[in-house]
Amino acid sequence: MALVRGVDMLSHHDGRRSIDFRKGKRLGRYDHIVVWYKPQKPKWMSKRLYQHLPETLSIRELKVEIHQKGFRSQQLLLTTTLLDAQLYSTEDLALVYRCRWHAELDLRSIKQVMQMDVLRCKTPAMVRKEIWIHLLAYNLIRKLMAEAALAAGLNPRDISFKGTLQTLVAFAIAGWSCPKRRQSLLYKSVLKAIATHRVNDRPDRIEPRAVKRRPKKLVYLNQPRSVARTRLLTGT
């Protein structure tokens, strides 16, 4: 389905299929192309869509050795639809897969910086709208960061997401009251201010997977707040 849209795949091997580098078309050491057969239909997929999918798919499997001190994994088993070994080397694919960490950082930006870790709507329809609004706002902020980076000659990842959001909040009142003839000048000022929020370049940063500060031990509210308030007033 991704290939139909012109999107290639690079992912960690999930272990559901066995890997034997002695089989398939050899591209190099621990690097080959094999044929994957269509698995059984998952529950979420319709029967019509399942029937339209091809019976086989050519997949490149490769193993990457990691010699970086402090890294948890010593080797990676990767699968990809990028089959040209001359155009996409093992080292390039490993570097691209390492950028997967940005997905974790982006989720943190959505859930913590934009405060989507707790959904406040009560009905499923409104919860879906709340999620889509957050994603829309996130994409608009990322687009603004890209424009600010382009104007300042930076990489968009060099700019802080939280700093961009704080800048937008700071300029919000000025934007609402700004006359049309000065909106272009204000927009350039916003881009310039966003570009000043740089993220420190810390390659190969290593941190322990542990939390230093302990959360405060409080009693969890397991009933409606109105009921709990009534019990406090009545002493029951």
List, for residues 201-228, the tens digit of each pLDDT value: 777 777 777 888 887 788 888 889 999 9
Same domain, 73 and 114: no
Average pLDDT over residues 143-151: 94
Average pLDDT over residues 11-20: 87
Residue 219 inside a domain? The answer is no
Q: Can you give the pLDDT at residue 70?
A: 61
Alpha carbon distance 121, 163 (integer Å): 27
Average pLDDT over residues 150-161: 92
Same domain, 64 and 93: yes
Same domain, 94 and 82: yes
Residue 229 inside a domain? The answer is no
Structural domain count, the chain: 2
Residue 64 has pLDDT above 90, yes or no: no
Same domain, 93 and 146: no
161's CB contacts (< 8 A; 6+ apart) are 109, 113, 141, 142, 145
User: Residues 78-126: pLDDT tens digits?
Assistant: 999 999 999 999 989 988 888 888 888 899 999 999 989 888 898 999 9
Residue 142 has pLDDT above 90, yes or no: yes
Residue 183 has pLDDT above 80, yes or no: yes
Alpha carbon distance 234, 112 (integer Å): 37
Residue 144 has pLDDT above 70, yes or no: yes
Same domain, 28 and 87: yes
Domain around 155: 103-202
Q: Can you give the pLDDT at residue 95?
A: 87
Same domain, 79 and 39: yes
Average pLDDT over residues 141-156: 94
User: Residues 18-62: pLDDT tens digits?
Assistant: 889 999 999 998 999 999 999 899 999 999 999 999 999 999 999
* Domain termination residue (choose one: 48, 74, 99): 99
Residue 207 inside a domain? The answer is no
Residue 23 to residues 54, 55, 75, 81, 110, Cα–Cα distance (Å): 22, 20, 20, 17, 43
Same domain, 52 and 127: no
Of residues 20 and 175, the one with the higher pLDDT is: 20
Nearest one of 74, 61, 64, 83 to 16, comparing CA atoms: 61
Q: pTM, whole model, 2 decimals? A: 0.69
Nearest one of 132, 152, 197 to 170, comparing CA atoms: 197
